[in-house]
Amino acid sequence: MQFKDIVGQRVLINKLTEVIDSGRISHAQMFLGRMGYGTMALAVAYVQYLMCEHRIHHGEGAELRADSCGECPSCKKIQGMMHPDVHFFFPTVNTSKIEKPSCGEYRSDFHKFLLENNFYVNLNDWYTYSGAENKQGEYRALDSVELIEEVARKSYEGREKVFILWMPEHMKSLVANELLKTLEEPYEGTLILLAAENDARMLSTVKSRVQTIRVPRILDAHLPEEAEGDYMIARRLENEMQDTTETKRLFIDWMRLLFKLKMAELSQWVESIASIGRERQKLFLNFVMDYMRRSFSQTAANQPANLNTGDARFDTMFPSMVTPRNVEQIYESLSEALFSIERNANPKVTFMQLSFQLSKHIKNR
Ligand SMILES: [Zn+2]
């Protein structure tokens, strides 16, 4: 799986290859994204890039700054699901044929399943593929035994050893505790990658030991890159964020950009907000939520909203954008972004994704 075959996600992918090139990757990471976001495909492309013997660099201006070659022995083995140092773990189900399920029993089926679906997979399809409809699968005690043995074993090819754990939220605490041990005592050259949809179901002790990479919706394809380096607004903000006029200006600029959805300007705006620091980003999101709530009470309940951005025309026009049709989605997107910022998600990815969501919600008023 090369990055070029991933749908969208260019901003995130470029970030990931930058980190791999710098050699500063964390030994335990979680790719977290809802069903359909391509989380597993991304994880596999990530591993293929990491292990590629001839990484290709297209340069910083390119849509993808870098990718795996797809042709070296390592890439070929991963693409054929035959790399001896890339291990997949996943939930399994009981069937009439397999009474004591484990990854070992199902592994060759799972490999076929991944290849047939080009790594764009979901749990229901996997259960159906394993011949067990309407049953819930899980990680098994046998899997943790195998995981521990494999982690302790030497790498076959003398390079990195990678464990991709798909849907780790379907892991009971017994298995998760074994996993914790391997996360706490990392082995040299060993990478553990979780590919998950719902971290609310995971043990907080596991979550706190992995670096989380939030996989956004597939919306950011073909983002222009030229915005890098516009620090003007950012610098002004550093000095004046305390002054709420600046917050208001930033908000008005953003809303105008969302109507036009001009990519180059929007990514400049995202660069700016990304550079002001998490505390200020949280203040800003709180301000926006408050403004949306006031706007809605004016539209829906005809109550005076006391809006005061300093731009009277904007304050008169904007409330009609927030209606009973879209207020919930607007609010959900904003609180999700706030949550992500609090959890140290990448602010550029978070604000870009939020921009697309808000733009869509506002158009659906
Ligand atoms: Zn390669």
Tens-digit pLDDT profile for residues 93-146: 988 778 888 999 999 999 999 999 889 888 888 988 988 766 778 998 888 889
47 Cα–ligand 1 center, Å = 11
Counting Cα atoms < 13 Å in the Cβ hemisphere of 263 gives: 9
> How far is the centre of ligand 1, averaged over its atoms, from the C-alpha of 58 (Å)?
15
CA of 126 to the centre of ligand 1 (A): 28
What is the CA(78)–ligand 1 centre distance, in A?
9
Query: pLDDT, tens digit, for every residue of 193-211?
Result: 999 998 877 877 788 888 8
Burial of residue 21 (number of CB atoms within 10 Å: 0-12, 13-18, 19+):
middle
Ligand 1 midpoint to CA 114 (Å):
19
- Can you read off the two tokens belonging to residue 92? 């399994």
Distance 12 CA to ligand 1 centre (A): 20
What is the Å distance from ligand 1's center to 56 Cα? 8
28 alpha carbon to ligand 1 midpoint, in Å? 22
**The total number of residues written for the chain in this structure:** 365
349 Cα–ligand 1 center, Å: 27
Band of the pLDDT at 218, cuts 50, 70, 90?
low
Q: How far is the CA of 45 from the centre of ligand 1 (A)?
A: 11
Q: What is the rounded CA–CA span in Å between residue 111 and residue 235?
A: 50
User: Model confidence over 324-355: pLDDT tens digits?
Assistant: 888 888 988 988 898 888 788 999 999 999 99
Residue 87 CA, ligand 1 centroid: distance in Å: 18
Ligand 1 centroid distance, CA of 187 (Å): 24
- Model pTM above 0.75: no
Closest CA to 75 of 48, 55, 54, 45: 48
Distance of CA 149 to the CA centre of its chain: 30
Helix and strand totals (H; E) in the chain: 15, 7
Q: How many whole angstroms from 20 Cα to the centroid of ligand 1?
A: 14
- Lowest-pLDDT range, 68-77, 102-111, 208-217? 208-217
Q: What Å distances lie between residue 339 and 266, 297, 332, 334, 347, CA to CA?
A: 22, 24, 10, 9, 11
Look at residue 295 and tell me whether its pLDDT is greater than 70: yes
> 159 alpha carbon to ligand 1 midpoint, in Å?
14
From CA 64, how far away is CA 15, in angstroms rounded?
10
- Residues within 5 Å of ion ligand 1 by Cβ? 52, 68-69, 72, 75
Predicted local distance difference test score (pLDDT) of residue 133: 64
The reported pLDDT for the residue numbered 152 is: 87
Q: Got the DSSP string for 108-148?
A: HHHHHHHHHTTT---HHHHHHHTT-TT---B--HHHHHHHH
CA of 51 to the centre of ligand 1 (A): 7
How far does the centroid of ligand 1 lie from the alpha carbon of residue 194, in Å? 22
Tokens of 123: 């749990």
What tokens does 130 get? 């394993």
pLDDT in the model for residue 227: 29
How far does the centroid of ligand 1 lie from the alpha carbon of residue 86, in Å? 14
Give 128's contacts (C-beta < 8 A, 6+ positions apart): none
